[in-house]
A and B are shown apart, each in its own frame.
Chain A
Amino acid sequence: MAFGALPQELLCACTKENALVPQRAAYSAAMNYKNAQKPENDVSLEGDQQAEAFLDLWQDNIRCWSEERDLFTLQSLLEAVRRGSEKKGPGDGA
Chain B
Amino acid sequence: MGHSVIKGPRPISLHFANSQKIWDEAASSGVASLDMDVWNPTVRKRVETLKAQLQTLDDIEGFNVAVQRKASERKDAFIAGINTYILRPYERPASLSMVSKQIGCCSLHDYGGNGVPILLVPSLVNPYYILDLMPGRSFALFLKEQGFRPFLLDWGSPGDAEVGFGLDAYIRDRLEPVLRHVVSVAGKAVPVVGYCMGGTLCSALAVRNQELISKLVLLAAPWNFDTEKPLAGRQNAVEMLDLVESLPAGADVGVDLLQTFFTNVDPTLSDRKFRAYDAGKYVGEEADFFSAMEIWANNGPSLARVAAKNCLGDWYRDNKTHNGQWEVAGQIVRPQDISCPTLVAAPEADRLVPQESAFAILTDIANGDKLEPPSGHIGMVVGNRARAGLWEPTARWLKE
Contact = CB atoms under 8 A, between A and B. Distances in A.
Interface in A54-94: 54-55, 57-72, 74, 76-78, 80-81, 83-85, 87-94
26 contacts: A3-B80, A8-B12, A11-B8, A14-B6, A27-B84, A27-B88, A31-B84, A46-B57, A47-B57, A50-B50, A53-B50, A54-B67, A58-B22, A58-B26, A59-B272, A60-B43, A61-B38, A62-B268, A63-B269, A66-B264, A68-B230, A70-B236, A81-B14, A85-B256, A92-B256, A93-B302
B254 interface: yes
A81 B8 CA distance: 16
Nearest to A65: B40
B5 interface: yes
Of B76, B255, B264, chain A has the most CB atoms within 10 Å of the CB of B264
Contacts of A65: 40
Given A11-B86, A80-B13, A50 B54 contact: yes
A66 B267 CA distance: 7
User: Which of B82, B254, B268 lies at the interface centre, i.e. has the most chain A CB atoms within 10 A of its CB?
Assistant: B268
Contacts of A68: 230
A77 B265 CA distance: 13
Contacts of B5: 14-16, 19, 91, 94
A69 B4 contact: no
B245 to A, nearest CB: 14
A64 B40 contact: yes
B42 interface: yes
Given A15-B5, A19-B89, A74 B11 contact: no
B348 to A, nearest CB: 14
Contacts, number: 212
B59 interface: yes
B66 A51 contact: yes
A37 to B, nearest CB: 9
A41 interface: no
A59 B12 CA distance: 20
Interface residues of B, number: 80
Interface of A: 1-6, 8, 11-20, 23-24, 26-27, 30-31, 34, 45-48, 50-55, 57-72, 74, 76-78, 80-81, 83-85, 87-94
Contacts of A94: 3-6, 299
A84 B14 contact: yes
Contact of B79 (A1, A16, A71, A72): A1
Interface string B58-102: 110011011101110010100110111011110100000000000
B40 A61 contact: yes
B363 interface: no
Task: Name, among A3, A24, A60, A80, the residue most crowded by chain B CB atoms within 10 Å (CB to CB).
Answer: A80
A69 B235 contact: yes
B157 A46 contact: no
Contact of A14 (B7, B54, B62, B260): B7
Contacts of A59: 22, 26, 268, 271-272
Contacts of B301: 93
A63 B83 contact: no
